[in-house]
């Protein structure tokens, strides 16, 4: 089963002009989204080949842009935040000069698009849609989880704004929760991944780096 995670960064910079030494302060909390990349794509000493991550970057002069990481094709993704920040910076510096709404691959498995959440949604295809929301139906109650390709939408440290919520409602994203606490986004991704892992019971689609 393919897993897709879409993380919406309300202030996360869409340009490469942030400092590696201060990603939170100069990147509009891009660090939050980079930790989500680690949580979604990596396990201990391994890369989940069946995961695609979309970072919707809504901050800075080049916004909106979307950074897509497809684990089936990426190479050398390292778990530390600095390496992830360097990877994002190179991708955002390189491109693209393409038409709005079209992903341009900047290196294997890593693509950038001039566009926003709607364009990212258009790239997802026909998959079951969930929005991670505090207080919603517990993910453990979803009998179908792990049986179909799915996409999970998550907010950043600020959550979702009203327009994003409305957009996700319009596309039929089902609200699901992961328990009673308000968690950091990357921790929510780890829990969702774990729930699916348990149901898939040692999926053959993961392999060592």
Ligand X SMILES: C[S@@+](CC[C@H](N)C(=O)[O-])C[C@H]1O[C@@H](n2cnc3c(N)ncnc32)[C@H](O)[C@@H]1O
Residue numbers of the site for ligand X (CB under 6 A)?
Answer: 132-134, 154-155, 157-160, 177-179, 181-185, 188
* Helix 117-124 with 162-170: angle, nearest 10 deg: 20
Q: Closer to ligand X by CB, 103 or 160: give it.
A: 160
Beta-carbon contacts of 166 under 8 Å, excluding residues fewer than 6 positions away, are: none
Residue with tokens 């079209």: 102
Kindly state the tokens that stand for 95: 């491109």
Q: Closer to ligand X by CB, 67 or 190: give it.
A: 190
Shortest reach from residue 157's CB to ligand X, in Å = 5
Shortest reach from residue 12's CB to ligand X, in Å = 13
Where in 14-102 does DSSP place strands (E)?
42-43, 46-48, 51-59, 65-70
Shortest reach from residue 9's CB to ligand X, in Å = 11
Shortest reach from residue 40's CB to ligand X, in Å = 13
Dihedral over Cα of 20, 26, 32, 34: its sign: negative
Please tell me the distance from the alpha carbon of residue 36 to that of residue 27, in angstroms, as a whole number: 15
Shortest reach from residue 54's CB to ligand X, in Å = 14
Q: Closer to ligand X by CB, 61 or 135: give it.
A: 135
Residue nearest to ligand X (CB): 159
Q: Closer to ligand X by CB, 105 or 197: give it.
A: 197
Q: What is the DSSP letter of 173?
A: P
Q: What is the DSSP letter of 59?
A: E
Q: Closer to ligand X by CB, 17 or 138: give it.
A: 138
- Enumerate the β-bridge partners of residue 65: 57, 114
Please tell me the distance from the alpha carbon of residue 42 to that of residue 193, in angstroms, as a whole number: 10
């Amino acid at each position: 089963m393919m897993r897709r995670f879409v993380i919406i960064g309300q202030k996360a910079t869409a340009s490469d002009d942030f400092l590696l030494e201060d990603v939170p302060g100069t990147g509009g909390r891009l660090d939050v989204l980079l930790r989500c990349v680690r949580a979604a794509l990596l396990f201990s000493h391994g890369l989940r080949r069946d995961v695609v991550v979309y970072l919707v970057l809504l901050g800075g002069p080049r916004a909106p842009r979307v950074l897509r990481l497809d684990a089936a094709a990426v190479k050398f993704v390292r778990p530390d935040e600095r390496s992830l920040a360097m990877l994002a910076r190179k991708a955002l510096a390189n491109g693209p000069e393409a038409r709005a709404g079209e992903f341009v691959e900047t290196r294997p498995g890593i693509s950038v698009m001039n566009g926003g959440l709607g364009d990212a949604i258009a790239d997802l295809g026909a998959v079951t849609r969930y929005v991670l929301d505090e207080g919603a139906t517990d993910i453990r109650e979803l009998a179908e989880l792990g049986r179909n390709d799915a996409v999970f939408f998550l907010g950043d440290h600020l959550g979702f704004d009203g327009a994003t919520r409305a957009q996700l409602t319009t596309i039929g994203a089902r609200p699901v929760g992961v328990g009673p606490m308000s968690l950091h986004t990357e921790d929510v991704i780890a829990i969702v991944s774990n729930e699916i892992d348990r149901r898939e019971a040692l999926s053959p689609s993961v392999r060592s780096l």
